[in-house]
Structure 1
Amino acid sequence: MTRRSAIAVSVLLAVLVSACHQAPQYTSMQASFVDKFDRPDTELGLGPGWDMRGGYVDGFPLPAATDGFIRGGRYSYSGSSVVYAARQMRGTVKSMGTIGSWRRVGEGDGETTMTMAVTPNDKLVADMVHFSVNRSVWELTVRRGAGFEPVVEGKFSPVLSLDRDYRFDLEVTKNSVTVRVPGEQTTANVDTTGLLGDRVFWEQYPSPVPSAVVFDYDTVWAVEDGQPLVSIAD
């Protein structure tokens, strides 16, 4: 082999190795529902169509939220309590996602975990496919009225940065769930019978309370069965 040929082979191998380690490309930049929160700030709530709920106390429905608002074109909160921003969609939800970032608002170690879920009923948290993410770890679980059943989880190394937008996706079928996080895509075979439906929520979960680092949702979206798609970027 000539020196020129050897160099060419080396370059080709480097390209192939690099390609194998590239972050997965997102399969779609379209959804049937998109909210960019590009409207005036609110004191509480996100506007028409949104049902703001707080953490479970002693029964259903969940109590009304005491936190959660729009600030600077993003869905945020004060970090002092659990907030579920829920919606009833126009059809069974096939996928959902968000773009957002973590931001420091105070002193301390408490950081917000953001979660997304698909659920078939207005109890919201009783039966669901549940995807949670903080700056260190992510976890996919399912729930059928009782405890959470773990499906798959992962870690971020290094941890995700503050003040930087990241994208997260959850895609569901009757027998599998796909999650996409920065640098990784994972599909798990899991029975979702009785867990899929036309309701979704995007949650703010402080741990411990209050959160010194909160999550700001810049954009949220969902793909509803039978509904026309639009560009998420528009």
Structure 2
Amino acid sequence: MSTLERNQYLRSIEIKRDKIPSFSAYPFCLPVVKHLTKLEFDSKVTFIVGENGSGKSTLLEAIAVAYGFNAEGGTKNFSFATNDTHSKLHNYIKLIKGIISPKDGFFLRAESFYNLATDIDELDKEPCDAPKVIDSYGGRSLHKQSHGESFFSLFMNRFGGHGLYILDEPEAALSPSRQMAMLSRIHQLVNRSSQFIISTHSPIIMAYPKATIYEIKEDILKVTYEDTDNYQIMKSFMNNRDKMLNILMEE
């Protein structure tokens, strides 16, 4: 076992394929599940990319829930539930953990971040002598910031290092410049013994050096940054903007 493998908080996952009742039913019919047996996390940063509906968010949710995080996001201490809509995939995932346990952790899912912010505000209404929960997020209600500001405040204040951070489409609220700033923050946290598993559509975020990238199509394959559809499509559009626009706007 390499030094990196020993220091990974989550080394890999395995799908309990023999336990799955039917691959024609949701979520087992998703491309990410149908052909997946094992997924290795052999870098400090792992990206899972793919088209809408490919199942990357469902997979991240299952990994997070199997690890003990709340299905709607947050740390392991959050237990709020606005909608019981998460899949049962976590019951069919085996986690292969590293020797060392993380001291910190967070599951961010863009679609339910509003609910997380609301729960923090509600928790801080309770009379308590302990520090307020929002103090760990920058001290200002996430609802009193723009969507992008609240996301960035989370990255800068709540993530402390020595942690496992599972992020589902973190670019959803971030401008390109903030996405680049997020890359810098990820690097700071990697240097503080952190591990990231991220689903994204952003060619900026997935450019993190030496990251592992898995792309979901009919199968899930390890690819280089330049071979991802996200990179190829963005590069083609930026280099041939007028031609692409003419094609897209043909009547």
Assess same fold via TM > 0.5. Answer: no
TM-score of the superposed pair, with normalisation by structure 1: 0.27
By percentage of residues, which structure has more helix?
A: 2
Higher relative contact order (CA 8 A, sep 6+): 1
